[in-house]
Amino acid sequence: MLGRAANGVYWMARYLERAENTARLIDVGFHLALTRSNRSSQEEEWRSVLTTTGQEAGFLAKNADVTGAQVFNYLLRDRDNPGSVLAMIENARTNARVVRTSITNEVWEATNETWMILRELLARPVRETNLGEVLSTIRRRATLVRGAMEGSMLRNEVFNFARIGTFIERADNTARILDVKYYVLLPSVAWVGSSLDNVQWDTLLRSVAGNRVYSWLNAGAMDPRDIARFLILDGRFPRSLVFCFEKIRSNMAGLAKQYGGEVQAHQLLRDAGCRLHDTNIETIFEGGLHEFLQDFLGRTYRIGESIAADYRFTA
């Protein structure tokens, strides 16, 4: 396939995943705003949403205060924000148009329709009363596109590049969320076990859609170290780092098989995979959770760059 087309499906999948992740983060911020009366702690939550999405600087350049409505409108639909959900959906659709011949009609139509629906839904400022509808539409639409890919695409290089895009984005997202909030999981924090902590932990799980599964697995009990283990090392959870890396690995293996050989990215991936597999949560905490996550984010980034270069995404 063309290098440009590989680039297109890869980014189409990444943007869709990123749009969905942003919607989840906003949902968490909103949820907290409803459960917390303290204005400054609400503001703190919205700030951490901005930090996690890497959009704090852009937001503060335009807005003096950090209020919920300002933050979610900025993240969802602000024309000056190239990282808004609307912009990402537009990017995803533009990439889908570029690779129209590589994807199936189902995938194209699902993507195009997503763009049409969200453009309409985000044409006017979002209010708290319809935020829930907007966020669930984004999640449902992303699920639909993923389902269309799953159900209609040939399992070949095109599919592999799309999946690699999805899981690199997702791994990056989970690691980022953890890194912004890593301190709430550290044992040194004084108020361990307080109800506030429970809310913080719940928030963390919620932002990767893991709160219910985690509660189910642990019969409602919460333990910070175990939460970290769950989000990093539990291969059953589809947003954990290990799960994402296993998906990247298998899709990269698919490419190696079709192309009759490996590229540099395969080696980088193996190195990063070893760091995840040959460890346990105790070792991670000993070496420092933040340091571990920073290292992971750096490696994921380099793998992405290497894939783009090795498979000639651009001339």
Partner 1 sequence: MSSAGGPRYDEMLNDDGSVRAAYADFRHWYDGQDVAWLRRQDVEAERFFRRIGITFNVYGDDAGEERLIPFDMIPRIITAKEWRKLTRGIEQRVRAINAFLQDLYHRQEIVKSGRLPVHFLRENEAFLTQMIGFTPPGGVYTHIVGIDLVRTGADDFMVLEDNARTPSGVSYMLENRETMMQMFPELFTKIPVRPVSDYPRRLMRSLQACAPSCAGSRPSVAVLTPGIFNSAYFEHAYLADQMGAELVEGSDLRVCNGRVQMRTTEGYKPVDVIYRRVDDNYLDPLSFQPDSVLGVAGIMDVYRAGGVTIANAPGTGIADDKAIYSFMPDIVEFYTGEKPILKNVPTWRCSEADSLAYVLDNLSELVVKEVHGSGGYGMLIGPTSSKKEIADFAAKLRTKPANYIAQPTLSLSTVPIFTKEGLAPRHVDLRPFVLVSPDGIDITPGGLTRVALKKGSLVVNSSQGGGTKDSWVLDE
User: Is the separation of the CB atoms in 28 and 42 below 8 Å?
Assistant: no
Binds partner 1 (CB under 8 A): choice among 43, 70, 98, 273: 98
Phi, then psi, of 238 in degrees rounded to 5: -70, 0
- Left, alpha or beta for 260 (phi > 0: left; psi -120 to 50: alpha)? left
Q: Which is nearer to partner 1, 18 or 93 (CB)?
A: 93
Q: Does 157 bind partner 1 (CB under 8 A)?
A: yes
Size of the site for partner 1 (CB under 8 A): 22
Q: Which is nearer to partner 1, 10 or 292 (CB)?
A: 10
Q: Which is nearer to partner 1, 72 or 313 (CB)?
A: 313
236-255 positions binding partner 1, by CB under 8 A = 255
Q: Does 36 bind partner 1 (CB under 8 A)?
A: no
Instruction: Measure the CA–CA gap between 158 and 309, rounded to whole angstroms.
Output: 17
Each as own residue / partner, the long-range contacts of residues 137-140 (CB below 8 Å, 24 or more positions apart, any chain) are 138/19, 138/20, 138/23, 138/85, 139/20, 139/23, 139/24
Q: Which is nearer to partner 1, 38 or 314 (CB)?
A: 314
Instruction: Measure the CA–CA gap between 242 and 246, rounded to whole angstroms.
Output: 6
Q: Does 112 bind partner 1 (CB under 8 A)?
A: yes
Q: Does 262 bind partner 1 (CB under 8 A)?
A: no
Closest approach, Cβ 113 to partner 1, in A, equals: 6
Contacts with 146 (C-beta within 8 Å, 6 or more apart), sequence order: 16, 166
Q: Does 315 bind partner 1 (CB under 8 A)?
A: yes
Closest approach, Cβ 94 to partner 1, in A, equals: 7
Q: Which is nearer to partner 1, 89 or 199 (CB)?
A: 89
Q: Does 62 bind partner 1 (CB under 8 A)?
A: no
Q: What dihedral do alpha carbons 288, 294, 300, 304 form, nearest 10°?
A: -170
Instruction: Measure the CA–CA gap between 85 and 118, rounded to whole angstroms.
Output: 9
Binds partner 1 (CB under 8 A): choice among 43, 56, 113, 226: 113
Binds partner 1 (CB under 8 A): choice among 4, 212, 270, 277: 4
